[in-house]
Each structure stands twice: as structure tokens, then as C-alpha cells.
Amino acid sequence: MTHAAARRRATAIFCFATIYLVWGSTYLTTKIGVRTLPPFLFGGARFLLGGLLLYAVAVALRLRRGEPAPRPTSRDWRHLLVVGFVGVFASNGGNVWGVQHLASNQAALLNVSATFWIALLGTFGKRAHPLGLRTATGLAIGFIGTALIAWPQEGAAANFALGAGTIAVLFACFNWAVATTYLRNIDTTLDVMTFTGLQMIIGGVMMMTLGFALNEAPAWNWNPLGLAMLAYMTLFSSCLAYTAYGWLSVNMTPAQVSTYAFVNPAVATLLGWWVLDEHLNVAQSLGMAVILG
């Protein structure tokens, strides 16, 4: 193995480990965060702060190498607006709103549906990867598992909040898959860190604008626990994990990238049980077993 190949392999392992573990823990931190802070301002602040920090680091690294600060082209700005809207505003906005009404482990399990959409949408575009029979069969079986998790339980059909939360999370997953596919098929003059930082700033501004429009400002407070969750989401989930995911989206196949959606629920379920005393009912447990299988 050449030095370049070994370095690429080490980078891939680090990036996969980051999105597996960090994003697996974000369902717990988001659930705790939105208990004390309004959802869209919580999510918007996370992305705006994380984006500004990431962009500042990207600029500093370029200047240190003697390179000029990044200057996005009009095409870059168009790509940034699309990914900022679909991949941050619509996707994470739906997730952060939906997790208010769902257990963190259930929200994480529903996010497995992103895997199906990523694989299906990954068959389109200039870097398309066709689905083989084995992969298609596995995705179909996994979809059954997702249906078991989302299926209304006794008394839940009349619970509008639970149903709305489920729909919001599933909608968020579809948008995340669209953003992943779009990101994989575009050409940009920006490096991964710069692009990620700018898309987070744009999406964060959109989320905060919605939060203010919904009059969430009076509900904002400086609760230490909520702020601690915000700090964790900003530094680890937004800055570190998003950069890792951006690298993987460009350098790995859609099927490989989407494996995070299978690992995250296991991490989230363990943390939800350990910290929040969350449990899965029989249908949800069966659904999780089907998905992982």
C-alpha cells in the first residue's frame, strides 16, 4: 500500500468513526437541548456558530499556507444555497422539531430511512452507482423495519404530536439524502471545510429566521444544561462530524456513506436507555432487529 493510499484509508476510518459516534450521540443531546431551549433557535444557533468557527479555521489555514482567502463563484453560491436549504434547514430543522415529540432512540431509528433514499438517489447523476439485487433486497427489508418503528402504537393514532414528529423526521431524512446526492454530483472551487462552513452559516441563518418568525425568542434562556448541549452540538456535531461527512460524500460510494445510519441508532438507543431511561416496545425492537439484519 502506498503512502497516499494508507493516508486515505486512515482518513476514511477517522471520518467514519466520527460520524458513527458523534452523530449517534446527537439524538440524546438534541432531546435534552430542546427540553430547555426552543428548537429552531437551538438548531440555528448551533449551525450559525459552528459554521462561523469552521469558516474561520478554513481561512486561517489557507492564509497560513500563503493562499488567499476563499472567493466563492456565483456557481458556488448557488450550490451553497441549495445545500444550506435542503441539507441544513429542511433536514435538521425537521429533525430538531420532530425530536421534541419522540423519544431520542425512536428518532434515531427513523433516521435509518435516509439510507434507503441515499442509495436510491445515488443511482442518478454523473457519479451514479447502480443498485445490485442484494443491495435492493436489503433496502426493501430495511424499509419494513422502518415501517415497524413508525407504525402507530396503541393510542398513538390519535396523538397528533407523535404523528407529526414522525412525519417531520422522515421528511428530514429525505431532504438529507437529497443534499447528500446533490453534494456528491457538484463541482465547486471550494475545499470541503470552507464549503461546509458556509453551508452551515446559510442554513443556520434560515433556521434562526424561522425561529424568530415563530416567536421563539421569548422562550430562549441561558439554562446551563441547554447551553452545554448547544456547545457540544456546535463543536463536535457541526464542526467535526459535518467536515468528516463532507469528505466521505465525495470520496466514498453512497452505500458506504449511508452505513452511518445503521450505526447511529445503536449508539442512540444505548445512550437513550442509559441517560433518559428510554425503552423500545416490541414492534420497535423487532423493527430495529430487521433494520440491523
**Is 128 a residue whose pLDDT tops 70?**
no
pLDDT in tens, 218-255: 999 999 999 999 999 999 998 999 889 888 988 888 77
Band of the pLDDT at 125, cuts 50, 70, 90?
Answer: low
Question: What pLDDT sits at residue 250?
Answer: 82
Q: Would you state the pLDDT for residue 280?
A: 73
| 117 in Cβ contact with 172 (< 8 Å) | no
On the question of pLDDT at 127 being above 80, the answer is no
Query: How many angstroms separate the CA atoms of 251 and 245, rounded?
Result: 10
Determine the Cα–Cα distance for residues 46 and 101; give it in Å rounded to an integer: 20
Task: Select the highest-mean-pLDDT range: 59-63, 147-151, 263-267.
Answer: 59-63
Report yes or no: 227 and 41 within 8 Å, Cβ to Cβ.
Answer: no
Instruction: Answer for the pair 147, 282: CB distance below 8 angstroms, yes or no.
Output: no
* pTM score: 0.86
Please give the pLDDT value at position 205: 98
For residue 140 the three cell numbers come to 426493501
pLDDT interval class at 152 (50, 70, 90): low
E strands along the chain, which residues?
none
pLDDT surpasses 80 at 140 = no
**Looking up cell 463532507, which residue turns up?**
246
